[in-house]
A = this chain, B = another copy of it.
Amino acid sequence: MNPILVEATRGGIVESAHRGALAIVDADGAAVCTIGDTARPVFARSAVKVLQALPLVTSGAADAFALTDEELALACASHNGQARHVAVAASVLAKAGLDESALECGVQWPSHEVAQREWAESRRPLGALHNNCSGKHAGFLCVGCLMARAQGREPREFVRGYVRADHPVMREVSAALQAATGCDLARAPAGTDGCSIPTYGIALAQLALAFARVATGVGLSPERARAAARLRAAVARAPFFVAGSGRFDTKVMQRLGERVFCKVGAEGVFCAALPEQGLGVAIKIDDGNTARAAEVAMAAAIEALVRLSDDERAFVRGLSDVTLKNWNGIETGALRATAALRDALPAHS
């Protein structure tokens, strides 16, 4: 039974509570903190997009297509589908000689209010470019186009079906994921993600290890280590493109820069790489609540682990102990990391 990590209060009592597990691991695989069951396979979902984007750099595609920081950040993103996200995804595809029709991620109604309002005002038809995964898929397509060139194949033909586990592009993506996590994906639970690529059940301890490797490069091949560092730097320079307006990942990386690389996933999964500490963090909320529970737990972990100024600490505390207000702006309660979580996290050194 995992402990309660996050609770929502109203009128002085707990209204709802979120159980979950959390792993903090160093690049040697040593557990720095284990809360709840961190051995159970958890579908990593979008939390591992930075691992899935490693082949974009290691293949040479990022250089061949002269991708910018914004474009690399979008390849690691679960973006809002705001106009700037859509434009940058289209730009990546254009550099590879493709367009929106090559995307196999499906058309998604924007999940966040700001994007819904932007879309409503743009009166542009909703397309696959709006899908929160369009940047990741555009990155996959760049890898595929480069492979096609190398083999003298017609790129559009070659990339078709790139979302399938047995496609050459997806084999590269899975190889990077397997190398970083140390998880044997052939034996892992396998499912289909929201954007139609495979997603694998991986222990939180392995996910945290992968992010410690992303943080340090230790345990990765030199090419993958350099690629991870480049992607982290790109996201730190263009954090709007990894999520968007009002989003946790964007706010945290806008404020803390390269000290934190964090990436949210569906169903309450959240991973982070902390380069200064050489640590990786992986969280899963049992009930799948990402937007309030996994984010609050991650904020508490960042608060405990990362060196912060007083102002930065107050900023992060505002994400781990959130005042809830209603439609009239009246305070109704709070969303906060529990004492059980805070006490189990390592004390700040």
Contact = CB atoms under 8 A, between A and B. Distances in A.
Given A116-B116, A131-B327, A288-B289, 11 more contacts: A11-B190, A11-B192, A11-B199, A11-B201, A16-B287, A106-B327, A107-B327, A191-B333, A192-B330, A192-B331, A195-B327
Nearest to A326: B194
Interface string A187-214: 0011111111001010000000000000
Given A106-B326, A268-B16, A192 B332 contact: yes
Interface string A92-130: 000000000000111111000100100111000000000
A327 B41 CA distance: 24
A43 interface: yes
A156 interface: no
A142 interface: no
A286 interface: yes
Contact of A191 (B10, B41, B105, B329): B10
Contacts of A16: 267-268, 285-288
A18 B287 contact: yes
Nearest to A11: B191
Contacts of A268: 16
A116 B106 CA distance: 20
B286 A193 contact: no
A8 interface: yes
Given A106-B326, A106-B327, A15 B194 contact: no
A12 interface: yes
A194 B288 contact: no
Interface of A: 1, 8, 10-13, 15-19, 41, 43, 104-109, 113, 116, 119-121, 131, 189-196, 199, 201, 267-268, 285-289, 293, 326-333
A331 B255 CA distance: 39
Contacts of A285: 16
Given A120-B119, A196-B326, A327-B106, A332 B191 contact: yes
Contacts of A105: 327-328
Given A1-B1, A13-B201, A196 B327 contact: yes
19 contacts: A1-B1, A10-B199, A11-B43, A11-B189, A11-B191, A12-B191, A13-B201, A16-B267, A16-B286, A16-B287, A17-B287, A104-B328, A105-B328, A106-B327, A116-B116, A192-B331, A196-B326, A196-B328, A287-B287
Contacts of A293: 287
Contacts of A107: 327
Given A15-B43, A120-B119, A196 B330 contact: yes
Contacts of A121: 120
Contact of A194 (B17, B106, B327): B327
A57 B288 CA distance: 41
Given A1-B1, A287-B16, A109 B104 contact: no
A58 B281 CA distance: 57
Nearest to A268: B16
Nearest to A104: B328
